[in-house]
Structures are given as C-alpha cells and as structure tokens.
Chains A and B, each alone.
Chain A
Amino acid sequence: MTFGVLVFPGSNCDHDAYHVTRHVLGQDTRFIWHKEERLGDVDVVIVPGGFSYGDYLRAGAIARFSPIMNDVVRFANEGGLVVGICNGFQVLCESGLLPGALLRNASLRFICKPVYLRTEQTDTPFTNALRPGQVIQVPIAHGEGNYYASEEVLDDLEANGQVVFRYSTADGAVTPEANPNGSARNIAGIVNARRNVLGMMPHPERCAEAILGSEDGLLIFRSLVNHVLGAAV
C-alpha cells in the first residue's frame, strides 16, 4: 500500500511520519509537495504536524488553500483515508473536512509532553488495532490544541461515535486534570461522519518505536495497514 505525506512550507513532522510508514512498517511512502495538484495513486494521505505558513492568520488557515488541498478534499469525499496530525488536524478543520476548530490552549502555553489517551472507538480504519478503552501514551506539542465546537456539534459527534480519543489519566479516567489544553469534553481526536478522516492533536508518529520510549503510536499506523491490506501485519 502507499502512504502520501503532504509537505507544506513549515511542516516539520513530515519526515517522522514518512519514517514510520516507510521504515518501521515497510510500506511505500512518498512526499507530496503542497503545490502539486493531484495526490496520485495513494491509499492514505497524512497531513503532518508543524507550522504550515508559520501559523499566519490562524493555524492551518493558509495551508487549506494550497493547490493540493482541493485534491485532498476530493479524495476524502470519495472515501479516501486521510489522517491529520496536530497542524494537520488544524488544516482539516479549516478545510471543512472535520467539524470544529482548535483554539489557543487554555493555559496560553505551548505544551510539549506525553499525555494519556483513552480509545473511544475501535471500529475505524485508524483504530482497529486498539482495544476499546485502551489507554495509550502519546506526546503532544502544540500551542493551539484546544478543541472547540458548538454544543450541538459536540452532541452529534458523541451520538455518532466520532470522538476517537480523549485525554485521560493513565488508568483511563477522563478528568479535567487530564485535559492538557482545555479541549471540549477532553477531545483529543475525532473522525468525520463517514469515518474515513481522522484528526488528532497528539503525535503518534513520535512514539512508534521502542527506542523512542513507546510504540503506542504505531497502533494507529498499523490499523491503517490492517484496513487497507485486510490482514494483520
């Protein structure tokens, strides 16, 4: 299978994502420059973390208008798998592929630390290798990760099972203390209604090898391989 990793000016987690899918999982992977107009033949698009366009105006606001994003929207609307990580999540919200927005962290601080996530949904292409309720440890590194949506949108997300990860304690309790950035209902990651687009603020690509202290993040990439190749890898 083939992963495509978008590259914007200011992306800085593109190589980490490439490393995981290409070298750790052994799948074909290629970079796709933001000025390209077609994704080409890929099974999964990764919108990586970083500071596309220096976060000018709003995080993700300018990247959304890069030429390649038209084809990402087409790809997603045709059911293609799209993963937005950190700045990628912000770009997907700005482009309308996911509901809501990411506000300034409630603390006003840039936060860079490992956090615990409770798995809320396992029937997605991104989480089929996880167990319901499984707690994974994944780092966050963001200044604008405070997930916001109107109460009606949040209720819809809950009712449709679109909240995939919540910030939790190590034993899976979803508490205000476990919420690093003020996100509504401790939301760390969501999928769209069709369940083919995932956005999450934490960085699974930074914890996908034992040498880095955790392999928990690999479960998300492995889920995608399971989904596309139809077999455990």
Chain B
Amino acid sequence: MFKAHVAVTLRPSILDPQGKAIQHALHNLGATAIERVRVGKYIELWVEEDDEAAAEAIVREACEKLLANPVMEDFTIELERVEGEPA
C-alpha cells in the first residue's frame, strides 16, 4: 500500500488574497522576513497498490479529474510505501 501526499496550490498567476492576509498577520507578529505566503490544500490518500508507478498513475488521475482544478490549481504528488490499514 502507498500513502500519497498531495499538495494542491493556486497557480502562480492567480492572486491569493488569503495568503496576503496571512502574510499581513505574520508581519504584525514581527515575522517581517516572510515575504510571500500562498495557501493551498494538503490531501492524504491511501492507495491499495503494490507497484509504485501504478499507484502514482491512480493518484495523478484523481488529481486531474477531481482534486485539483487545472484552470486555477497545480498539484504535486509524493508517494510513501506504508504497511497495513490507513491510520
């Protein structure tokens, strides 16, 4: 079994007002070195599949068809081999 770590982020060309508001709050906290904040989504998937390439293909299709909207979002996938049932 593989655990997939999927990060869905707004494409660089898309304004992220939420990130801007968070950056503003961080500056108010004194963290002025933080120059840019972008907010995305993190999604975990457990895939019952032994072959890593096959697991990756399944997750990629899930991202393309549902988890990310290609008009406004990009995604990255990291796979980790895990044992047993989803925790």
Q: Which residues of B contact A108 (CB under 8 A)?
A: 17-18, 21
Q: Check if A149 sits within 8 Å of B18, measured CB to CB.
A: no
A106, CB-defined interface residue at 8 Å:
yes
A57, CB-defined interface residue at 8 Å:
yes
Q: Which of B63-86 contact A (CB under 8 A)?
A: 66-67, 69, 71-72
* A94–B67 CA distance with the chains assembled, in angstroms: 11
The answer to whether A103 and B18 touch (CB under 8 A), given A57-B67, A61-B66, is no
Q: How far is the CB of A70 from chain B (nearest CB, A)?
A: 14
A148, CB-defined interface residue at 8 Å:
yes
A104, CB-defined interface residue at 8 Å:
yes
Q: Name the interface size band of chain B.
A: 10 to 19
Question: How many residues belonging to A are interface residues under a CB distance threshold of 8 Å?
Answer: 19
Q: Check if B71 sits within 8 Å of A106, measured CB to CB.
A: no
The 0/1 profile, CB within 8 Å of A marked 1, for residues 16-41 of chain B is 01100100000000000000000000
B57, CB-defined interface residue at 8 Å:
no
- Specify the chain A residue showing the minimal Cβ separation from B67: A57
Q: Check if A100 sits within 8 Å of B71, measured CB to CB.
A: yes
* A100–B66 CA distance with the chains assembled, in angstroms: 15
A110, CB-defined interface residue at 8 Å:
no
Residue among B17, B21, B71 making CB contact with A149, cutoff 8 Å: B71
Q: Which residues of B contact A30 (CB under 8 A)?
A: none
Q: Check if A57 sits within 8 Å of B71, measured CB to CB.
A: no
B14, CB-defined interface residue at 8 Å:
yes
Q: Which residues of B contact A107 (CB under 8 A)?
A: 17
* A61–B41 CA distance with the chains assembled, in angstroms: 14
- Specify the chain A residue showing the minimal Cβ separation from B65: A65
A19, CB-defined interface residue at 8 Å:
no
Q: Which of A64-94 contact B (CB under 8 A)?
A: 65, 93-94
Q: Which residues of B contact A104 (CB under 8 A)?
A: 17-18
Q: Check if A94 sits within 8 Å of B69, measured CB to CB.
A: yes
Q: Which of B14, B15, B17 has the most CB of A within 10 A?
A: B17
Q: Check if A101 sits within 8 Å of B71, measured CB to CB.
A: yes
Q: How far is the CB of B9 from chain A (nearest CB, A)?
A: 13
Q: Which residues of A contact B72 (CB under 8 A)?
A: 101, 103, 148
* A57–B18 CA distance with the chains assembled, in angstroms: 16
Q: Can you pick out 15 interface pairs between chain A and chain B where the beta carbons lie within 8 Å of each other?
A: A61-B66, A61-B69, A65-B66, A99-B71, A101-B69, A101-B71, A103-B15, A104-B17, A104-B18, A105-B17, A106-B17, A108-B17, A148-B72, A150-B71, A182-B17
8 smallest CB-CB distances across A and B, nearest first, come from A101-B71, A101-B72, A108-B17, A106-B17, A101-B69, A58-B69, A148-B72, A108-B21
- Which residues of chain B have a CB within 8 Å of any CB of chain A? 14-15, 17-18, 21, 66-67, 69, 71-72
Taking A94-B69, A106-B15 as known contacts, 5 extra A-B pairs with beta carbons closer than 8 A to each other, sorted by chain A number, are A93-B71, A104-B17, A148-B72, A149-B71, A182-B15
